Structure 1
Amino acid sequence: MTRSFPENFLFGAATAAYQIEGAAFEDGRTASIWDAFSREPGAVIGAENGDVACDHYHRYPQDVALMKQLGLQTYRFSTSWSRVRPDGGAVNAAGVDFYERLVDELLSADILPWLTLYHWDMPQALQEAGGWTNRDTVDRFLEYAGTMHDALGDRVNVWTTLNEPWCSSFLSYTAGEHAPGHTSIAEGLLASHHLLLAHGKTVQELRGRDASLNLGITLNHTVADPADPQNPADIDAARRVDGQFNRWFLDPIYRGSYPADIVDDIRAVDADAVARFEAAVHDGDLETISQHIDTQGVNYYHGDLVSGTAPVEGPVSAEPETERVRRSPYPSSDDIHAVERALPRTAQNWEVQPEGLTRVLQRVWAEYAEPAGTVLYMTENGAAYDDVVVVEDGETRVHDADRTEFLRLHLGAVLDAAEAGVDVRGYFYWSLFDNFEWAWGYDKRFGIVRVDYDTQERILKDSGREYARIIGDRAL
């Protein structure tokens, strides 16, 4: 049965600056936290980095042409703080010029620019002063956001403050998996608050400059289910995962408060960390954080089945096998255990659970976005699979049946949510290109376009061909 998308539904694809641009130290750009972290022993699989990546900095015209060939209506990208304000200081005109040229190229191709200000690549110099644990970083971010609006405010209407602040706080300052690689509960809490404060202040600033802008944030979400719905320990484990992953960011943005049950959970584990966090939340901060947003981006990759009891067969892991010491990203992580279930898995060992996406959209819409008058967009959804590269009739083809099926299933899940009344107005596949996948390095490929990292050749995969067909037909 053919299923059609609403007339106002946008189809796009997403990338991030550090993952694709390369040109890490060209034209005035200085080191970001990922330039530094990727050089630490054991931080990234294969000791790889984003120095060259997809070389998008030099190849953006052909990349935009490829977007147009796919029929993309919109392109979600991030700007590099280290390129625009190296070391967090003075404006770098050459860095700003790159994004002006990129946006002009997109507009000439009739592709809507969807700009994200922060996708995890803070200038390393700011990290050396404390990074997101330092309240002063909020002001530095506001300066950077203002610079970007000065340059692009006449051409870019959609502005996303942050991508996945859960990752840039708890995965980065508590788990040690992402830059800067710290393993502190207190630092994760401080970083989460200062990130949200930077979001709120940026929304205030940009709305004050131009009330017509579409302003928002992108959050990553999971759906946490108890392994045994009758077991109080499993139910509590699911509550804590949901609270620390979803509600920790949703509640302050939409309701002006952090979830009290999660604060209490963390206090029971590390009272000193919570005391530092509470001291960092100044009068007026939560009012600033809970500024109205026009758009919320929803990122979803998989759900979580969790238990309060460790599985007999041992832990389930879907994390990169790097050598660095890590801990759980959840501050209150005691007795939270992932449970394996009979679902398909990606090359990263992530479960494929499209119905979880429908549930996430329904929950975020009903409990948060709809009461606030905020519209939802699927800003990331995708999967890593192993490609099959063949030459057929003299043409290189990339077969990726699993990714093609993943794409169709999750677009169907978005339609299920829309048909149930959720105002979800677009879908961005992650990612347009194979790229530098953070601690995974270049080991996993998410793209609908294959990148040969030796030659920088771009090859449209079967999944990309299918996505182009769906966009053209506006139907599954």
Structure 2
Amino acid sequence: MSGRGHSPRTAPVLSALVLVAALFQALPAAAARPAIPPGFLWGVATSGFQSEGSFPDSNWTRYVARKATGVTDPYKDSVDFRHRYPQDIALAKGLGVKVFRTSLEWARIEPRRGVRDPRELAYYDDVVRRVRAAGMRPMLTLDHWVYPGWIADRGGWDDPRTGPDWLRNARFLVDRYKGQGVIWITFNEASQHLYHELRARPMSPAQLATMRDALLRTHRAAYDMIHRVDPGAPVTSNVAYGSVLNGLFDAALFNQITDKIDFIGVDYYYGANLENTTAVHSLTGEFWRIDPEPEGLYYVLRNYQRRLPRLPVYIVENGMPTDNGKARADGYTRADHLRDHVYWIQRAIADGVKVMGYNHWSLTDNYEWGSYRPRFGLYTVDVLKDPKLTRRPTDGVAAYRSIIANRGVPSGYVPKQRPGWCSVEDPVATCLARPPAPPAP
């Protein structure tokens, strides 16, 4: 809350709002119902550039080299997933998850146009093989914001040849991994891809529009191609939930492809309400200063389901950063964050939302697009100070393992983070009514 004064005319209104807020804050959280179905897809997520290390020439290695906007730390070799993936896949298996998400990096596979690197293909082949051998389903992202240096030399998505070249690479990969139970993601968070390119290249408004149109056309073509090559494989492009800016985030790609997705892939990290406006820290990249709003996930899931009732919903990414691995000042831990969000997923399922899966971002800490300071990992890794890149478990490891084993949080669980008043995610439901009550057991 700010320390600004208020005029006498606004004082009665503000007093009334404070009273209503106090009433809402006094409401006890309702008991969760054990509603996670047996076939629910628990997973972990990561991406190639952010975790692999030893990365070849690409748009992002160039952004890091010239310290583009937002880049503060050297890339080094990130957490070296490229050479430690057997151990990391084993860590994921130990959690009990059934989905392992990563990306197939075009820059690694095709370092020069028309020339594929057999060593890197063997690496990805082994990743997929080990994921499946560990009893997990691969969720493979074809584009997680990174493209080869030779594409950058041609102007990235400005060049009309990029879309066809992207599709040629995608067709090769889908054919290579077809029939292996893959869940395909075409473009990760198109809105954020556009945003990062706008900042890091940078781009003009005309270039931004050109890139958006190219992503749209390419996704639509990729969807049809994947269904021809790998029939029955689910396909989507996951959307970043953007709180007050969500309309713009959806407009980047999602609104135009709802007929070309098999499930709604949602990435939810934070929301906002009149008692919690800390989401403003996202504008400065200080994500660790944001106070989570777990109940916002409930409203986001419900709203997307209402918009597209025929499709199931998958939380493709959800997690909480800490500041360089330090404990939060408010005592809220990764375990609390996991349990609170799963509680609201259970509430959404109990209220009829067809939630098919949940991925925690991320398995380990990684390179967060210019910085190692935000730590999202279930296993924390100090890239800048620990040459051994030791994976150290956070309290989220035991919590997630227990959640998966017990199919959610127990009946009677009370979220540590209490619901705030008047959520941006659904003002109609939250500003004039109490939080949703679960159905009777």
When the two structures are superposed, what TM-score results if normalisation uses the length of structure 1? 0.73
The answer for the alignment partner of 1:458 in structure 2 is 391
Per-residue deviation, 1:155: 2.0
1:115/1:158 contact within 8 Å kept? yes
Distance 1:87 1:221 in 2: 35
1:401/1:463 contact within 8 Å kept? no
Tell me the C-alpha RMSD between the 2 structures: 2.4
The answer for the alignment partner of 1:359 in structure 2 is 299
List alignment gaps of at least 5 residues for structure 2: 1-30, 410-441
* Letter of the structure 2 residue corresponding to residue 144 of structure 1: N
Q: Can you list the C-alpha shifts for 1:418-457, whole angstroms capped at 9, x where unaligned?
A: 2221111111011110110113x11110001111322111
The answer for the alignment partner of 2:165 in structure 1 is 140
The answer for the alignment partner of 2:431 in structure 1 is none
Per-residue deviation, 1:55: 0.7
1:160/1:218 contact within 8 Å kept? yes
1:351 to 1:195, Cα distance in 2 relative to 1, 3 A: farther
1:79/1:115 contact within 8 Å kept? yes
1:432/1:448 contact within 8 Å kept? yes
The answer for the alignment partner of 2:47 in structure 1 is 16
2:59/2:147 contact within 8 Å kept? yes
Of the structure 1 ranges 37-46 and 73-82, higher mean CA displacement relative to structure 2 is found in 37-46
Q: Can you list the C-alpha shifts for 1:151-203, whole angstroms capped at 9, x where unaligned?
A: 2113243111111010111x1243x0xxx431422222221221121111111
Match of 2:196 among 153, 172, 189: 172
Per-residue deviation, 1:347: 5.2
* Letter of the structure 2 residue corresponding to residue 362 of structure 1: R
Residue 380 in 1 paired to residue 317 in 2? yes
Distance 1:11 1:108 in 2: 17
Match of 2:338 among 407, 411, 427: 407
Per-residue deviation, 1:387: 6.9
Higher strand content, 1 or 2: 1
The answer for the alignment partner of 2:402 in structure 1 is 469
The answer for the alignment partner of 2:73 in structure 1 is 47
The answer for the alignment partner of 2:290 in structure 1 is 350
Higher relative contact order (CA 8 A, sep 6+): 2
Distance 1:361 1:247 in 2: 18
* Letter of the structure 1 residue corresponding to residue 40 of structure 2: F
Distance 2:397 2:389 in 1: 18
Residue 58 in 1 paired to residue 83 in 2? yes
Distance 2:68 2:213 in 1: 29
2:105/2:143 contact within 8 Å kept? yes
Per-residue deviation, 1:45: 4.5
1:194 to 1:350, Cα distance in 2 relative to 1, 3 A: farther
Distance 2:355 2:102 in 1: 20
1:379/1:428 contact within 8 Å kept? yes
Distance 1:42 1:114 in 2: 30
Partner SS state of residue 44, structure 2: strand
Partner SS state of residue 102, structure 1: helix
Residue 318 in 1 paired to residue 318 in 2? no
Q: Can you list the C-alpha shifts for 1:48-84, whole angstroms capped at 9, x where unaligned?
A: 11x4111111111111111111111111111111111
2:33/2:347 contact within 8 Å kept? no
Q: Can you list the C-alpha shifts for 1:121-179, whole angstroms capped at 9, x where unaligned?
A: 1112212212123232111110111121232113243111111010111x1243x0xxx
List alignment gaps of at least 5 residues for structure 1: 25-29, 225-240, 255-289, 307-314, 322-345, 391-399
Distance 1:464 1:141 in 2: 37
Distance 1:47 1:452 in 2: 12
Residue 245 in 1 paired to residue 254 in 2? no
The answer for the alignment partner of 1:181 in structure 2 is 201
Distance 2:357 2:335 in 1: 18
Per-residue deviation, 1:101: 0.3
When the two structures are superposed, what TM-score results if normalisation uses the length of structure 2? 0.78
1:150 to 1:210, Cα distance in 2 relative to 1, 3 A: closer
Distance 1:145 1:363 in 2: 31
